[in-house]
């Protein structure tokens, strides 16, 4: 008796919660999730990086510029010294080629439209093209 009543309350409640959690997800939330999981520990939540260690992702030539070069950083990592906004960085960023085309596209779209950046989205097709391009060069 009590169980039946409980079930008749709990089942609709669960369905409602599932519905809410699905519909309240903002656009490109996957990009933010991938960023938090794979980039944030070095480039920080606000994209400002860490002085002398990890470069910022705010208005840099790499972030706002040529998309295939930007995709290449995520696919291959980076270890040559680079100068970003007047500061030289000589640390190592590992390859993130293990991420899917979709995840790389989403995280780069997120980076290019966050931290004050306003650049166009990156598509999974562009990531795939860059992967193929690199395999053929080697
Ligand atoms: C282990 C720390 C680390 C992680 C994790 C990391 N990076 Fe980097 N990243 C670096 C370092 C260090 C450099 C500079 C490398 C150099 O000096 O050659 C860099 C360079 C870059 C650059 C080019 C320079 C600039 O600041 O514009 C971009 C873009 C970038 N990272 C994006 C990402 C994205 C996106 C992710 C997550 C998928 C990520 N990084 C994960 C450390 C990291």
> Per residue in 69-121, pLDDT tens?
999 999 999 999 999 988 999 999 999 999 999 999 999 999 999 999 999 99
Long-range contacts of 112-116 (CB under 8 A, 24+ apart): 112/63, 112/64, 112/70, 113/28, 114/47, 115/46, 115/47, 115/48, 115/56, 115/57, 115/58, 116/58, 116/59
**Global confidence as pTM:** 0.84
Residue 10: the pLDDT is 85
Q: How many of the other CB atoms lie within 10 Å of CB of 11?
A: 10
CB of 102 within 6 A of ligand 1: the answer is no
Tell me if 17 is assigned to some domain.
Answer: no
Alpha carbons 101 and 66: distance in angstroms, whole number? 17
Residue 88: give its domain's CATH number.
1.10.760.10
Ligand 1, from 37, 76, 78: best to mutate by most atoms within 8 Å of Cβ? 78
pLDDT at 2 over 70: no
Q: How does the average pLDDT of the chain come out, rounded? A: 91
Tell me if 53 is assigned to some domain.
Answer: yes
Beta-bridge mates of residue 50: 54
What is the domain count for the chain?
A: 1
Tell me if 18 is assigned to some domain.
Answer: no
pLDDT at 56 over 70: yes
Residue 27: the pLDDT is 66
Tell me if 12 is assigned to some domain.
Answer: no
Residues in Cβ contact with 118 at an 8 Å cutoff, skipping those fewer than 6 apart: 112
CB of 138 within 6 A of ligand 1: the answer is no
Residue 83: the pLDDT is 93
Contact 74, 108 (CB under 8 A): yes
Query: What residues make up the domain containing 50?
Result: 27-137
């Amino acid at each position: 008796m009590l169980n039946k009543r409980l079930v008749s309350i709990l089942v609709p409640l669960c369905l409602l919660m599932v519905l809410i959690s699905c519909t309240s997800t903002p656009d490109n939330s996957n990009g933010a999730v991938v960023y938090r999981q794979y980039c944030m520990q070095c480039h920080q939540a606000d994209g400002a990086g860490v002085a002398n260690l990890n470069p910022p992702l705010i208005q840099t030539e790499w972030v706002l510029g040529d998309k295939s070069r930007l995709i290449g950083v995520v696919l291959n990592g980076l270890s040559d010294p680079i100068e970003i906004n007047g500061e030289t960085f000589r640390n190592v960023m590992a390859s993130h080629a293990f991420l899917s085309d979709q995840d790389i596209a989403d995280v780069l779209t997120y980076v290019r439209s966050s931290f004050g950046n306003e650049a166009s989205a990156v598509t999974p097709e562009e990531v795939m093209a860059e992967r193929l391009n690199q395999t053929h060069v080697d």
